[in-house]
Homo-oligomer: A and B are copies of this chain.
Amino acid sequence: MADPRLVALLDAEGADVLVTADPGLVRMLTGHACEIETGPSPFSLPPIVVAPAAGEPLLVCSADEQPGAAAELYEGFTTGPLTPISGAIAALARALARCGGERIALDGGSISAAVGRSIPQAALAGDDGLRLLGSVKSPDEVAAIEASLRLCEIGQVAAREATGAGATELEVWAATRAAIEHAAGGRCCVLADLVAGPRTGDVGGQPSARSMVPGDVVLCDLVPRLDGIWGDSCATWGVADAPDRARTLHAGAVAGLEAALATLRPGAIVGTVDAAARGAVAMAGFTYPHHTGHGLGFRYHEEPRIVPGATTVLEQGMVVALEPGAYEEGLGVRVEVVAVVTETGHRVLSRHPLGIDREERIRT
């Protein structure tokens, strides 16, 4: 039985089968979590999924992947000549023959030009449809996001514990990632902002060798991937006692978060969610130069994007991260939680501490 979200996309595209190598869509359609941490492999192309409107999706990947799903394989790691592109092209042809689809919708952003030229009859699928695919999650997918959010919680608590005057951002980062990977039982891909002091005013950045000093705040946005599914989280706290100005900014950001959550229900237009958050932060005297939020799960930033003027209508099962902030020159605060839209409103899935005081262990 094909995924009804896929069937709807193929209907809209007038196609029988989707071909994509987007790691998020591969995860959604087959359950396979693609390796993404070390860039292109010399031995294989990123896994492709051939997903028909009727029948089972097929992975097209190298034998190194050991896929759980049905697959057409080509040679991967070898001491012989390397031929991953021709191997992938041949395996894709076999997969398409097995599926029997005539009209192919191609995800032209994720499939390589070499592979694309082997199926010149394929039409490029529209970007907007691909981006919306997977924005509504199944209960199992929500549970997988919750598992990734537990890693966020563990990482956020570890980061608070490692924070202190004299600690470098990189030391806090190392403790944070170690806690996440210990909890996951293996290596995890983690996208992160982890900055302290004046760089918080720049919204975010990579951890550096800078040592923290009393009076700094730490802005920590942790985005780990577990089993191919992303979590997201942000909090901001003082290295020692947070300065009064940071408390004022924090109150503004929290007001934005609460205002956004108050509007989060099926039927709400995302532009109004954005306006609610931005308006509350503005009432406190601040602004933020980024989105209010975004969908989450198959990618770390997906539909529904919660940005000014956006017209997407929230539906039950959509999972969104909300992350308003308050920034000025040299000082910034951001708070973020993830929530799922329910039948009548929403349920917050995040559990990490949000308070400006470092010692806080439970979410305000």
Query: Bound complex: CA of A117 vs CA of B116, how far in Å?
Result: 9
B300 to A38, Cβ gap below 8 A? yes
The answer to whether A232 has its CB under 8 Å from any CB of chain B is: no
Please, which residues of chain B bring their CB within 8 A of the CB of A116? Answer: 112-113, 116-117
Interface residues of A in 26-81 (CB under 8 A from B): 34, 36-40, 42-43, 45, 77, 79-80
Return the chain B residue nearest A182 by Cβ: B170
The answer to whether A115 has its CB under 8 Å from any CB of chain B is: yes
The answer to whether A345 has its CB under 8 Å from any CB of chain B is: no
Please, which residues of chain B bring their CB within 8 A of the CB of A181? Answer: 170, 173-174
The answer to whether A307 has its CB under 8 Å from any CB of chain B is: yes
B112 to A82, Cβ gap below 8 A? no
Copies in the complex: 2
The answer to whether A90 has its CB under 8 Å from any CB of chain B is: no
Please, which residues of chain B bring their CB within 8 A of the CB of A307? Answer: 79-80
Stretch with Cβ within 8 A of B (4 or more), from A203-211, A254-262, A323-331: A203-211
Query: Bound complex: CA of A77 vs CA of B186, how far in Å?
Result: 31
The answer to whether A85 has its CB under 8 Å from any CB of chain B is: yes
Query: Bound complex: CA of A177 vs CA of B45, how far in Å?
Result: 27
The answer to whether A127 has its CB under 8 Å from any CB of chain B is: yes
Please, which residues of chain B bring their CB within 8 A of the CB of A83? Answer: 127
A109 to B109, Cβ gap below 8 A? no
Contact pattern, A 83-124, Cβ under 8 Å of B = 1, otherwise 0? 111000000000000000000001011111111110000001
Query: Bound complex: CA of A249 vs CA of B77, how far in Å?
Result: 24
The answer to whether A131 has its CB under 8 Å from any CB of chain B is: yes
B38 to A23, Cβ gap below 8 A? no
Query: Bound complex: CA of A182 vs CA of B77, how far in Å?
Result: 32
Please, which residues of chain B bring their CB within 8 A of the CB of A110? Answer: 40, 112
The answer to whether A153 has its CB under 8 Å from any CB of chain B is: no
Please, which residues of chain B bring their CB within 8 A of the CB of A82? Answer: 127, 131, 305
B109 to A85, Cβ gap below 8 A? yes
A185 to B208, Cβ gap below 8 A? yes
Query: Bound complex: CA of A290 vs CA of B76, how far in Å?
Result: 12
Known: A38-B36, A186-B207. A108 touches B124 (CB 8 A): no
A43, A80, A187, A307: most-surrounded residue (chain B CB, <10 A)? A187
The answer to whether A189 has its CB under 8 Å from any CB of chain B is: yes
CB distance from A288 to the nearest CB of B (A): 10
B114 to A85, Cβ gap below 8 A? no
A42 to B301, Cβ gap below 8 A? yes
The answer to whether A5 has its CB under 8 Å from any CB of chain B is: no
CB distance from A298 to the nearest CB of B (A): 11
Known: A112-B108, A173-B187. A39 touches B36 (CB 8 A): yes
| Given A113-B117, A113-B124, A186-B206, 13 more pairs with CB closer than 8 A | A22-B40, A36-B38, A40-B299, A42-B301, A42-B302, A45-B109, A108-B112, A108-B115, A109-B112, A112-B116, A117-B124, A170-B181, A177-B177
- Can you report 19 A-B residue pairs in the complex whose CB atoms are below 8 A from each other? A23-B40, A37-B189, A37-B191, A42-B300, A42-B302, A84-B109, A85-B108, A85-B127, A108-B114, A111-B113, A112-B112, A113-B115, A113-B117, A170-B186, A173-B181, A174-B181, A185-B209, A186-B207, A187-B206
3 nearest A-B pairs in the assembled complex, by CB-CB distance: A113-B116, A108-B114, A36-B39
